[in-house]
């Protein structure tokens, strides 16, 4: 089966839902936060302490994640990628880049 970018993005969003349900018996997730400057984050897990998730297939863009983390005073954010794994640090904040397959396994730790 050949996956297009749209199908892969949908797959990643399903993985995000699956992971939120694994983490919390009663899932609390919001979709698509955006600020007036069009910075955005795809999924926000958690009710008390928000955990931002950005789903990326290709090129990584940190601007939406950085804006969310600054606004809500969050120290860690997560980008779920197709295959990339990395850490991006700026001003004491860490953006973890995790491949989709590893995110599903790691989610209980997040």
Give this prediction's pTM: 0.72
CATH number, domain 5-109: 3.40.1350
Q: Are 31 and 39 in contact (CB under 8 A)?
A: no
Q: Are 23 and 45 in contact (CB under 8 A)?
A: yes
Strand order in the sheet with 86-90: 29-34, 40-45, 51-56, 76-81, 93-99, 86-90
Q: What average pLDDT does this structure show over 60-83?
A: 92
Domains in the chain: boundaries: 5-109
What is the tens place of the pLDDT at every residue in 14-68? 666 655 555 555 456 677 889 999 999 988 887 678 889 888 878 888 999 999 9
Q: Are 20 and 29 in contact (CB under 8 A)?
A: yes
């Amino acid at each position: 089966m050949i996956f297009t970018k749209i199908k892969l993005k949908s797959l990643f969003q399903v993985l995000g839902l699956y992971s939120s349900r694994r983490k919390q018996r009663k899932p609390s997730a919001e979709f698509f936060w955006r600020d007036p400057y069009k910075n955005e984050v795809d999924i926000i897990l958690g009710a008390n302490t928000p955990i931002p998730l950005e789903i990326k297939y290709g090129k990584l863009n940190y601007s939406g994640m950085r804006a969310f983390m600054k606004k809500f005073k969050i120290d860690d954010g997560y980008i779920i990628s197709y295959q990339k794994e990395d850490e991006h640090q700026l001003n004491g904040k860490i953006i973890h880049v995790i491949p989709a397959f590893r995110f599903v396994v790691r989610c209980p730790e997040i």
